[in-house]
């Protein structure tokens, strides 16, 4: 049985990758410091004998070495990061340390442990705010935040390690990922869960600016598909490729779609536009098709329907959970 290490495996994307790997009979080790990840995203895996959770950081080189040796890790899905533009601006040192030093540790210890396959999370933020759309991999990178700079640096490190150590490292430039287990309070691509949770409560949906700005929203199962393909793809070493849906939608249109799909009576309210906001963003996914065989299976309406259903079930559980918590504890 092959063993895969998933860093950041208690997070939104990481926990979904873990679930898919376990279904495919991999042994999965999750390393997460729970700074943004949550135990409730992985607690349903704890009974699985092929699953191990280790609380710790990718900055801990000794722990990484121990994991690689103890579990004979053959592949790494590296999702751990501080994935917030805002946090990177307020505290660039922490973002650089977690995202660049942490990634360097992963690549370096993978190399010395003879683990040659690493798939890591990059971001469409590396393209900056230029007007060109769709975004193509050969475009000049123009990161506009410390967060985006760390993603570009990870890509350069990957190419260097591939050349120096004959490793197979693949970077996935995520566009706007959405789906089950995404935290609506997070800073990362949170417009879909924020809209859905508000719509289910019939609360107003806030839009910054006119709402005509467009984004490429990619469903979590398609992102998981890309990661699994990346762990096994041939002739992909050193590639950094777009992972999106290949289409885009305006934020105002998205809000209306969420209201319809959730049967909500929410109103839409406009707030001042955010300075420097990217106007249009869409992924060109031809390279990911050619290199990985990536084929998105979820159009936005299908992905939104599944996401709304998941959040609706989550909202319905809350009253029962609160009621249970308020019951008196029997004294023996």
- Catalytic positions, written as ranges: 147
Name the DSSP letter for residue 6. Answer: E
Q: Are 158 and 106 in contact (CB under 8 A)?
A: no
Task: Report d(CA 210, CA 153) in Å as an integer.
Answer: 34
3-state SS class at 2: coil
CA dihedral for 244, 250, 256, 259, sign (positive or negative): positive
Task: Report d(CA 164, CA 153) in Å as an integer.
Answer: 16
Q: Are 133 and 248 in contact (CB under 8 A)?
A: yes
CA dihedral for 194, 196, 199, 200, sign (positive or negative): negative
**Strands (E) located in the chain:** 3-7, 27-32, 51-55, 75-78, 117-123, 168-174, 176-178, 205-208, 214-215, 217-219, 240-243, 249-250, 268-271
Task: Report d(CA 264, CA 311) in Å as an integer.
Answer: 13
Q: Are 116 and 227 in contact (CB under 8 A)?
A: no
**DSSP-assigned states of every residue in 286-300:** HHHHHHH-------H
Q: Are 181 and 8 in contact (CB under 8 A)?
A: no
Closest CA to 124 of 285, 276, 237, 252: 285
Q: Is cis: bond before 134, omega within 30 of 0? A: yes
């Amino acid at each position: 049985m092959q063993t895969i290490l998933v860093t950041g495996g208690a997070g939104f994307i990481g926990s979904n990758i873990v679930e898919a790997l376990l279904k495919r009979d991999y042994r999965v080790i999750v390393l997460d410091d729970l700074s943004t990840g949550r135990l409730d995203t992985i607690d349903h895996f704890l009974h699985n004998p092929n699953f191990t959770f280790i609380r710790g950081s990718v900055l801990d080189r000794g722990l990484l070495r121990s994991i690689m040796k103890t579990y004979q890790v053959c592949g790494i899905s590296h999702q751990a990061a501080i994935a917030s533009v805002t946090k990177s601006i307020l505290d660039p040192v922490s973002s650089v340390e977690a995202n660049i030093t942490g990634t360097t540790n992963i690549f370096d210890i993978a190399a010395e442990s003879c683990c040659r396959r690493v798939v890591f999370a990059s971001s469409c933020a590396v393209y900056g705010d230029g007007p060109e759309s769709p975004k193509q991999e050969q475009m000049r990178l123009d990161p506009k935040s410390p967060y985006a700079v760390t993603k570009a640096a990870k890509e350069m490190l990957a190419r260097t390690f591939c050349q120096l150590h004959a490793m197979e490292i693949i970077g996935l430039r995520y566009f706007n990922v959405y789906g089950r287990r995404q935290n609506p309070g997070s800073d990362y691509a949170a417009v879909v869960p924020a809209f859905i949770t508000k719509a289910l409560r019939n609360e107003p949906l806030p839009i910054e600016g006119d709402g005509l700005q467009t984004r490429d929203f990619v469903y979590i199962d398609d992102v998981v598909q890309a990661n699994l393909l990346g762990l096994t793809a041939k002739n992909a070493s050193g590639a950094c490729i777009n992972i999106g849906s290949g289409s885009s939608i305006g934020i105002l249109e998205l809000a209306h779609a969420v209201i319809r799909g959730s049967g909500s009576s929410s109103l839409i309210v406009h707030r001042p536009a955010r300075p420097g906001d990217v106007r249009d963003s869409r992924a060109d996914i031809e390279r990911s098709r050619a290199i990985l065989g990536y084929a998105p299976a979820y159009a936005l309406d299908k992905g939104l329907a599944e996401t709304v259903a998941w959040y609706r079930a989550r909202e319905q559980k809350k009253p029962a959970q609160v009621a249970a918590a308020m019951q008196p504890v029997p004294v023996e």
